[in-house]
A and B are shown apart, each in its own frame.
Chain A
Amino acid sequence: MRILLVEDDPDLSRQLKLALGDAGYAVDHAADGEEAQFLGETEPYDAVVLDLGLPKVDGVSVLERWRRGNVATPVLILTARGSWNEKVAGFDAGADDYLTKPFHTEELLARLRALLRRSSGHASPTLSCGGLRLDPRAARASVNGEPLRLTSLEYRLLHYMMMHQGRVIGRTELVEHLYDQDFDRDSNTIEVFIGRLRKKLGSDRIETVRGLGYRLTPLEGETTE
């Protein structure tokens, strides 16, 4: 397993390199954003530990550039500020997990193991509907290659609709598949979630069939592969 460690503090870098090496990983180290970006784009790493406060190019920008360049390596970010603003920005940019400084090395190693385990499932069959794509194994969805940020309820709703695309699905049916227990089962709930999905997917993909329910269809001109 090859890990890229991006951290500008020499002491922390030394310690982390040592700890990661002891845990059996091959470690490359980058001390600034530019070097990190270059290494991440050119070398096939299994995971990246990325500090957000970096010289030259900051961590969030590095991450954004990787994700734009289709580098899908799982990334664990280290942040010192730990404000939600920064965490959300990190996840928005494509991070897979975060750790707030100061942290224990064991914690870092545990998170890293979890990250690697999650990303090990490969090449799962994906569902698609026009430009819409859904990977049930990784629980990720995208529109025209752009990853969608969905909550689990939204994801579950979309998954169900993609499995039954082209068919009109009634509200009750959707509610039953959205919630495994029986709270909150008013049909209003479904409208809320359909509304949010439309905002994220584009409003034309989900069609309202009056009195019957909803139907997911590819956009005109798109073909289902």
Chain B
Amino acid sequence: MWDLSKRSLVRRLVLLAGIWNLVVLLVAGVFLTAQFRDAAIRRFDQSLAVLTDDLYAGSTVEDGVLKAPVLTDIRATRAYSGRYWTIFDQPAGGGGLNVIERSRSLFDSDLMIPMEQSERLMSESGKTLYFDLKGPQNRPLRAAALLARLPGYPRPVVFIAAEDRSPIDADADRFGRITTVALVILGAGLIAAVVVQVRVGLLPLFRLRREVASVRRGKAEKLEGAYPEELEPLAVELNALLSHNQEVVERQRTHVGNLAHALKTPLSVMLTEASQQPGGLADVVERQAQTMREQVDHHLRRARAAARSQTSGERTPVEPILDELAVTLERIFQDKSEGRGIEIDWRCPEDLCFQGERQDFMELAGNVMENAGKWCKGKVRAEAVASSPEQMTLTVDDDGPGLPPDRWSDALKRGQRMDEHTPGSGLGLSIVDELARAYGGSVTLGASPLGGLRVTLVLPRSEG
């Protein structure tokens, strides 16, 4: 059994049309050729019938002797010309037929009536019969024969006229060949028409496929094109599915965000309350609250990362986000370096786009740049470039103390804090690492030409 459901639609449609065409054309060809041959033979038979009638009508009986008419057809007189006639009679005792007269064209041979035809003649006297027989030199002949009685002649007489039938066979064969060629050409034309028709007819389907692909690659947010009425519902459903997906992700995110919010305010209360109690309780509560906070952050990120794998790609222009982050971070760190604040020098091509959600990119770049801001002496440099058609690289440098190379990999681990006295959690870079991985990207640490740490983020890029 063919598994039709897996075959190409184009091939399936063309194949079906092809099989149907083949059957129809074959039947038509056979039918036409047969019709042509029949008509030719009928015409041939008629001319033979005329000859037998002439023989019958022209024959006379004189003194019990049968005389054949004088026929002027030249072909009946030239030897082996292809046209022959014979008059037989049937002896009284039955048995074979006696030749009474025959055309001169027969020369030295006789027309031999096959057995079953002569029996048919006996039983259907007065009726002209047509049949094939072998003539002189083994030529195929067509014959018309009539058994009749002549007044004054005692025995039944058989009049038979025959003619070489190879011209009709040749004609019929030629017609067959021409018909075959014509039908083959017609068939090829029909198949070509079907191929074109199917290709053109299925164009919207191919367009739909391209659009879906571009949604997946994050070049479009939904299907925009207009589709024929058979495909329109599919496009509408796809769009509904996309926006449903988006909604689910958004809901999950809000949900997790709300949970985090709901937990963190009580944590603040506990921290404050504990700090006012004397003794070891404050330390324990603080440590535990810190752990809880890290747990909440961790699961918040996991939820985001999980949500991300379900979303369709979105494209986020990088430049405005770096601008916003730079302005915000300079404000946040405005009291740093004895009140001189920090200076964030950032560069980014205007058309560079991150393939993914805005919020996620903000989280990635925000945490890396905040980390740089936290450790720098006053200068942070951020540069985003398109490193390949599929990837972008964000490099963030600071002029702070940096990290020794043996601690680079530790810094990305969860809960690792480089300095217990720096305000804020040390989680910034592990968040980035986790999120970047969820996007199939990476984070690497290194030494910066400014003297501090260099963080290099490789992320998916959306082109065009």
Residues of A within 8 A of B (CB): 9, 11-12, 15-16, 19, 53, 80-85, 87-88, 91-92, 96-98, 100-105, 107, 114, 118, 149-153, 184, 192, 196
Please name 11 further chain A to chain B contacts, defined as beta carbons within 8 Å, in addition to the given A80-B262, A83-B257, sorted by A numbering.
A16-B272, A81-B260, A84-B363, A87-B366, A88-B366, A91-B332, A92-B324, A92-B328, A97-B332, A149-B324, A192-B347
* Contacting residue for A88 out of B271, B324, B367, CB 8 A: B324
Report yes or no: B331 in contact with A9, Cβ–Cβ below 8 A: no
Return the 6 tightest CB-CB contacts between A and B, nearest first.
Answer: A84-B366, A80-B261, A102-B267, A101-B264, A102-B268, A80-B264
* A85, B328: Cα distance in complex, Å: 11
How far apart sit A15 and B341, CA to CA, in the bound complex (Å)?
Answer: 31
Q: How far is the CA of A11 from the CA of B274 in the complex (A)?
A: 13
Report B426 CB to chain A, min CB distance, Å: 14
Question: Which residues of chain A come closer than 8 Å to B13, judged between CB atoms?
Answer: none
Cα–Cα distance between A19 and B269 once the two chains are bound (Å): 12
Inside 8 A of B358's CB, which chain A residues have their CB? 85
Q: Which A-chain residue is minimally distant from B335 (CB atoms)?
A: A114
Which residue in chain A gives the minimum CB-CB distance to B297?
A82
Q: Compute how far the CA of A96 lies from the CA of B334 in the bound complex, rounded to whole angstroms.
A: 10
Is there a chain A Cβ closer than 8 Å to B359's Cβ? yes
Q: Is the CB of B272 within 8 A of A15?
A: yes
Which residues of B are found within 8 Å of A9, using beta-carbon distances?
265-266, 268-269
Which A residues lie within 8 Å of B262 (CB)? 80
Q: How far is the CA of A196 from the CA of B344 in the complex (A)?
A: 14
* A80 neighbours in B (Cβ, 8 Å): 260-262, 264-265
**Neighbour of A83 across the interface among B293, B334, B363, B424, CB < 8 A:** B363
Residue of B nearest to A184 (CB): B345
Main secondary structure of the interface of B (DSSP, over half): helix
- Distance A196 CA – B332 CA, assembled complex (angstroms): 21
Chain A contacts for B341, CB-based, 8 A = 152
Q: Which chain A residue shows the least CB distance to B261?
A: A80
> What is the minimal beta-carbon distance from B397 to any residue of chain A, in angstroms?
11
Contact assessment for A151 and B363 in the assembled complex, using a CB-CB cutoff below 8 Å: no
> Is B343 among interface residues, defined by CB-CB distance under 8 A?
yes
Considering only residues 309-347 of chain B, those with a C-beta below 8 Å from chain A are 323-328, 330-332, 334-335, 341-347
Q: Which of B297, B334, B346, B363 contacts A118 (CB 8 A)?
A: B334
A48 CA / B140 CA spacing, docked (Å): 121
Contact of A81 among B261, B268, B271, B347 (CB under 8 A): B261
B273 part of interface (Cβ distance < 8 Å)? yes
Q: Which residue of A lies closest to B364 (CB)?
A: A84
Nearest CB of A to B431, in Å: 10
Given contacts A105-B275, A152-B341, A184-B345, contact A85 B363 (CB under 8 A): yes
Partner of B272, one of A12, A81, A91: A12
B275, chain A: closest CB distance, angstroms: 7
**Alpha-carbon separation in the docked complex, A102 to B343 (Å):** 28
B328 A88 Cβ-Cβ under 8 A: yes
Q: Tell me the complex Cα distance, A103–B367, Å.
A: 18
Q: Is B423 an interface residue (CB 8 A)?
A: yes
* Bound complex: CA A223 to CA B297 (Å): 53
B362 close to A85 (CB less than 8 A): yes
Report the separation of the CA atoms of residues A23 and B275 in the bound assembly, to the nearest whole angstrom: 16
**In the assembly, what is the distance between CA of A53 and CA of B268, in Å?**
14
Asked whether, in the complex, the Cβ of A84 is within 8 Å of the Cβ of B362, the reply is: yes
B289 CB-CB contact with A under 8 Å: yes
Distance of B62 from chain A, by nearest CB (Å):
130
Whole-angstrom distance between the alpha carbons of A150 and B330 in the complex? 9
- B260 contact set on A, CB distance < 8 A: 80-81
| A114 surroundings in chain B (CB, below 8 A) | 335
Query: Of all chain B residues, which has the CB nearest A199?
Result: B323
User: Chain B 227-238, CB within 8 Å of chain A: the 1/0 string?
Assistant: 000000000000
* Residues of A close to B335: CB separation below 8 A: 114, 118
Contact of A151 among B265, B297, B327 (CB under 8 A): B327
Do A53 and B261 have beta carbons less than 8 Å apart?
Answer: yes
Which residue of the partner chain, among B261, B327, B347, B365, contacts A91 with CB atoms under 8 Å? B327
Asked whether, in the complex, the Cβ of A11 is within 8 Å of the Cβ of B269, the reply is yes
Minimum CB–CB distance for A117 against chain B, Å: 9
Interface core residue of B327, B334, B359, B423 (most chain A CB under 10 Å):
B327
**Residues of chain A lying within 8 A (CB to CB) of residue B423:** 107
Contact indicator B332/A98 (Cβ below 8 Å): yes
Query: Per a CB cutoff under 8 Å, which of A15, A87, A151 touches B344?
Result: A151
- Cα A96 to Cα B344 in complex, Å, equals 18
Once the chains bind, are B271 and A91 in contact (CB under 8 Å)? no
